[in-house]
Every structure is written in structure tokens, then in C-alpha cells.
Amino acid sequence: MELEYTEHLSPMLKGDIKNYLIDIDGTITDDVPNEEPERMITCEPFPDALETINRWYDDGHQICFFTSRTEDLRKITEDWLNKHGFKYHSVLMGKPRGGNYHWIDNHLVRATRYKGKFTDLVEKQVTIEVFRD
Ligand SMILES: [Mg+2]
């Protein structure tokens, strides 16, 4: 990972490289709850997700899967990702369950809701919630 360091500040990715944080269940495969781990072995990846994510990886972006699956499901999860040929850098387990995410950070954050088609991202004007100036 190519990082740019500024004294006394946390480093930032160089250029246009993105840190993709990508959900697993319901986003790159069926929505499998933690209570049904046997389905995590047999579910199939969404082909457009596999193709798009691997292209992002090949283009130099950072790919991190960020999932509400628990740490005890890491091996099943990584074996499944590897079996289906996903290219990635890391897997973060233990994301809070329940959705309605709102991420607050001093770094730039963009968010995209998955609604059934995994494509390259396009620009669109939308309303968002921000802090008062
Ligand atoms: Mg999900």
C-alpha cells in the first residue's frame, strides 16, 4: 500500500487509489446470516461483483471485505473468497449488525448502497447529512 506521510498526521493513500470497504452478505453473494454458517460454504458469488472487485484490485485499489460475520467465521469466509477467486488485501470481521450505517471520520468517506447491480461507480447528485458549518 502506497501511503503519503505528513509529520504528526495519519498517512493517506497516494493519488486516486481508493480504500474499498466491501460488505459480503447480500452484496457480493446471498444475504446469509451468521446463524446459518453452512450456507456460507455453498453460496455463489454474484459474477458482476467478482469481476468488478478483481478489476479494482488489478487497478491498484485496496480491497477490504468488511463484514458482520464474527471472528469464528473467518476461515470459512476466507476459504470461500479464495475458492471463488476474489482478489483482496484484508477481511475485517465484526462490523455491527443491523444496517443504517453512518460513518463519521476525519478522512474523506463515500458510501454506496448495493441494490442488485455491482458495476463501476458513476457520479450522481444526492442529498446527504453533514455536520453544521
Ligand atoms: Mg450485508
Tell me the pLDDT tens digit for each residue of 3-21: 889 898 888 888 899 999 9
The answer to whether position 34 is within a domain reads yes
How many domains are there within the chain?
Answer: 1
Name residue 4's beta-bridge partners: 12
How far apart, in Å, are the Cα atoms of 33 and each of 22, 50, 115, 116?
16, 20, 18, 18
pLDDT, mean over the chain: 96
The answer to whether position 7 is within a domain reads no
Distance in Å, CA 115 to ligand 1 centroid? 11
Domain with 63 in it? 16-133
- pLDDT value for 115: 96
State pLDDT tens for residues 72-117.
Answer: 999 999 999 999 999 999 999 999 999 999 999 999 999 999 999 9
The answer to whether position 4 is within a domain reads no
Distance in Å, CA 104 to ligand 1 centroid? 20
The answer to whether position 1 is within a domain reads no
Distance in Å, CA 67 to ligand 1 centroid? 7
